[in-house]
A and B are shown apart, each in its own frame.
Chain A
Amino acid sequence: MATWLLRRMFQAALVILAMTVLVFVGVNVIGNPVDIMISPDATQEVRQRAIEALGFDQPLWRQYLTFLGNAVTGDIGKSYVFNQPALDVILQRLPATLELAVSALLLSILIGLPLGLLAGFRPDHPTSRAIMAGSIFGFSLPSFWVGLMLIMTFSVYLGWLPSIGRGQTVSVLGIEVSFLTLDGLKHLALPALNLALYQISMVLRLTRAGVRETLHQDFIKFARAKGLRPRRIVFVHVLKNILIPIVTVVGLGFGHTVAFSVVTETVFAWPGMGKLIIDAINVLDRPIIVAYLMMIVVLFVVINLLVDLTYTLLDPRIRLETQE
């Protein structure tokens, strides 16, 4: 187990290294931030000095080596836009995004799982059909569109919920969170719902598919024949068997939610990382891109690790990769 974890860490480090090379090459083929941001009133001299000061006149490999040298000492670089260490900028925005993503995850499980179970057990019931039909809306409508509709309905016409920002936050262990105040919760409601819609449909549909499949299997038929209570069948036998694909997708989905919450964050002016990364890509703020991706790689590695561990808990027949 310990060696398995260590190996995972080592692999993660390799992934991060590969990622930094990709970012350097990738950003370099797209362009440089001076061309994007320089004032049209600037003289060539000012432009040239900016390019030199930021090191863009150096060959790419040298820029990369400089970066690696600094990275070893823990310095990933200063953002060109924020003029702050890139990692600080990211960490500052992490709580907002995590809060949003966790809320969306909870919503997707709280709503998706029971509805999926219902639709799976009674596939021909009108309610189930309605649920399945409704779930299609969750992933087929572009989320910016749904976001605007949510704002128009709940914010403009009904005036129930605010649509902008995080509202009142409280500091918990130095981290600002909004779910602990009523005002914060109100601000959280619409963006979380917007972000969760896709996940809800995904969880719902996978649950239903799993239930339908499991119900046909012999051990369930056997359990039924044995006269086990339906509730026990559902919660012990069926649920355990369908959780693996759901855990995978939810795990991945969580990472996705964090990484790609850009649309929701933009529409609801939520000060998180999704908005940050899209802005950074738009102006090729390389230190931010690198720092952000490092963070996300770590996040994905951790999630995958947890997912793999969950597999072994759910189904002891599954081995961890290197225990062969």
Chain B
Amino acid sequence: MPWNLRRLLAGLIVCGTASSPAFAVDVVMGRSTPQSVLDPHYTVQPTGVAIAPDIFDRLVRFRLDLQLEPGLALSWKPVDDLTWELKLRPEVSFHDGSAFDAEDVAASIRRAGSMPESPSPMSVNVGAVDDVDVVDPLTVRIKTTVPTPLLMDQIGQVFIIPSEYAEATTADFNSGKAMIGTGPYKFVSWVPNERVEVARFDGWWGGEPEFEKATMQFITEPSSRVAALLSGQVDVIDAVPPADVQTLEANPDVDVFSIPSVRLLYLHLDLKNDNSPFVTDKNGDPLSTNPLKDARVRKALSLLIDRQAITDRILGGGAAPAGQVAVKGQGGFSESLVPDPFDPERARALLAEAGYPDGFGLTLHCAVDRDVNSPQALQAVAQMFARGGIKVNAVDCQPYSVYSGAATQGKYSVFLWGRNDSVSDVTLNLRNGYMTFDKESGFGSFNRGRYSNPDFDGLVKQALQEFDQEKRYGLLRQASEVMLNDTAVIPVYFLNASWAAREGFSYDANMAVNTGLQYVHYTGNN
């Protein structure tokens, strides 16, 4: 088989010339997300940006722990509340040989904001940008409409293309013509839904990329991905299913690389309706009041959940109990917010105190096709609720296409939701998810449960304008504590992100759940 032969040859060369670092090693990656469009500015969905980070560089790079480090921008600082100044990396060239400069940055940011006909536009990252001034070839000033401390996190997501391609169409990218970046790998070919092939770019500013050629094969079905790894058709896979982590770890030919990720699964609670659609009394009849509006009831529900049991049994250890929305290492993480313990006694007492000594009835909702094992986890939560005296009328898991709309329109009462941050702190998460829903200001756009607390709103508003990182993190920490003391939502667990590689390869597990060639290393064929 060709892959084995290649490995063998690579091995022979290693043995023969152990001192020479440069030899042809290829890698085949099995990826869970297919590439649907090559245009790196069309969407922020993974189907649009899965392979882009290896071909295009960005202004910043995200470290394994989510924090920023210089990318194409060497340094950045706020000049005033509405202006940032960026110093760019000199002597960087594109795959076509042209030099990178400030014009390319300006063109890329403008282009990213100009594709409205996308259901998930890149403009989400450049929405605050008012204008981009090119000061000199290696300096740009970015004017924002509102004070934007998190600007680099956001525009740092934008892939930089040569300014000559500012007018390129999606078709130009798909044909490969405009697939010109400054990244470590050059685009070679794309078979839609099947694979992308890239080759080493020798002129990369970051050093010599490790692989001569790389193929990214799209394998959406988890079991098939694992089987492809086991049979040696691919060298590295992402999104290892929790059920298979232990099996793979036991396999001598394969290593697994895991890290707790920013992907949080939590229970959203309907705090808006007085008669919530899926809350009933014990007989299944509608209730005139909504018990979920009572913070004691919410806390009681949280105390009924044995998080450790869920992460151990349902996720095979591939998750960590959660007590807040920020993961450790992320700005806004609070040491004092520990996951609620499993305490049915206290839960019962709280329910009785709130006037529901015998509990009430609930239907729980979730999406089937979103997070691995989340329907199983929700069923486990249902078991625990049932034992705590809550009558679980049903656990209804639906396709995300139906679920997402209904959840956003407030048609559910208690539902399991997954979210991950793409930035280094929780500012945007708190702003969109928990600030009082207000169409005018645009705050709370995804506050599905309609939690509202003026103290919390005040703290987040301050944080949104605070340029000093330490102070901002402090404000976010306080805000998180306010919100979780109210049990605005019930955090359940943070999913682990896992990759697996065959002997001879390793992977840098990262919290942002990025899959890319830059994280793959060749360790030799032992």
Binding site for B on A (CB under 8 A): 30-47, 49-50, 53-54, 78, 80-84, 89, 92-93, 148, 151-152, 155-156, 159, 162-166, 266-269, 271-272, 275-276, 279, 281-284
Contact = CB atoms under 8 A, between A and B. Distances in A.
B219 A78 contact: no
Contacts of B191: 166, 271
B47 A81 contact: yes
B230 interface: yes
Interface stretch (B53-61, B119-127, B467-475): B119-127
B217 A44 contact: no
B231 interface: yes
B217 A164 contact: yes
Given A50-B116, A93-B192, A41 B432 contact: yes
A58 to B, nearest CB: 14
A270 to B, nearest CB: 8
Contact of A36 (B44, B401, B445): B401
Nearest to A85: B171
A99 to B, nearest CB: 13
B162 interface: no
Interface string B173-217: 010000000000000000111110000000000000000000001
A61 to B, nearest CB: 20
Contact of A81 (B37, B429, B439): B37
Nearest to B224: A267
A50 B194 contact: no
A283 B389 CA distance: 38
Nearest to A47: B445
Contacts of B1: 159
B251 to A, nearest CB: 11
Contacts of A31: 401-402, 404-406
B138 interface: no
5 contacts: A54-B117, A92-B192, A162-B231, A166-B194, A269-B224
Contacts of B34: 279
Contact of A164 (B174, B224, B422): B224
Contact of B401 (A42, A164, A284): A284
A280 B217 CA distance: 20
Contacts of A50: 116, 118-121
B170 interface: yes
B399 A151 contact: no
A267 B221 contact: yes
Interface of B: 1, 30, 34, 36-37, 39, 42-45, 47, 116-121, 123-125, 127, 170-171, 174, 191-195, 217-221, 223-224, 227-228, 230-234, 369, 399-402, 404-406, 408, 419, 421-423, 428-429, 432-433, 439, 442, 445-446
A282 B400 contact: yes
Given A50-B119, A84-B174, A266-B220, A271 B194 contact: yes
Contacts of A41: 124-125, 421-423, 428-429, 432
A37 to B, nearest CB: 4
Given A32-B405, A34-B119, A43-B445, A163 B227 contact: yes
A161 to B, nearest CB: 9
Given A37-B120, A266-B220, A164 B127 contact: no
B120 A165 contact: no
Contact of A80 (B44, B119, B224, B404): B119
A56 B43 CA distance: 18
Contacts of A151: 224, 227, 231
A24 to B, nearest CB: 16
Given A269-B217, A281-B401, A156 B231 contact: yes
A36 B400 CA distance: 7
A222 B195 CA distance: 61
B401 A37 contact: no
A53 B116 contact: yes
A281 B401 CA distance: 8
B228 A43 contact: no
Nearest to A284: B401
Contacts of A81: 36-37, 43, 45, 47, 119
A163 B234 CA distance: 11
Contacts of B439: 44
B401 A148 contact: no
Contacts of B220: 266, 269, 275
Contact of A155 (B219, B233, B402): B233
Given A32-B405, A46-B124, A281-B401, A83 B231 contact: no
B217 A80 contact: no
Given A50-B121, A163-B227, 11 more contacts: A36-B404, A36-B405, A38-B120, A46-B121, A80-B118, A93-B192, A152-B227, A164-B217, A164-B234, A165-B217, A283-B119
Contacts of A164: 30, 217, 219, 224, 228, 233-234
Nearest to B437: A44
A266 B221 contact: yes
A43 B117 contact: no
A3 to B, nearest CB: 41
Nearest to B45: A37
Given A54-B117, A163-B227, A269-B194, A43 B432 contact: yes
A148 to B, nearest CB: 6
B123 A46 contact: yes
B116 to A, nearest CB: 4
A269 B193 CA distance: 8
A268 B224 contact: yes
A30 B47 CA distance: 22
B336 to A, nearest CB: 26
A32 B121 CA distance: 15
B460 to A, nearest CB: 14
Contacts of A93: 192-193
A284 B194 CA distance: 21
Closest 10 CB pairs of A and B: A31-B405, A271-B194, A271-B193, A53-B116, A37-B120, A44-B445, A37-B119, A33-B119, A83-B170, A35-B405
A36 B43 CA distance: 13
Contacts of A47: 445
Contact of A163 (B47, B228, B406): B228
A80 B119 CA distance: 7
Given A43-B124, A47-B445, A275-B193, A35 B408 contact: yes
Nearest to A151: B227
Contacts of A92: 192
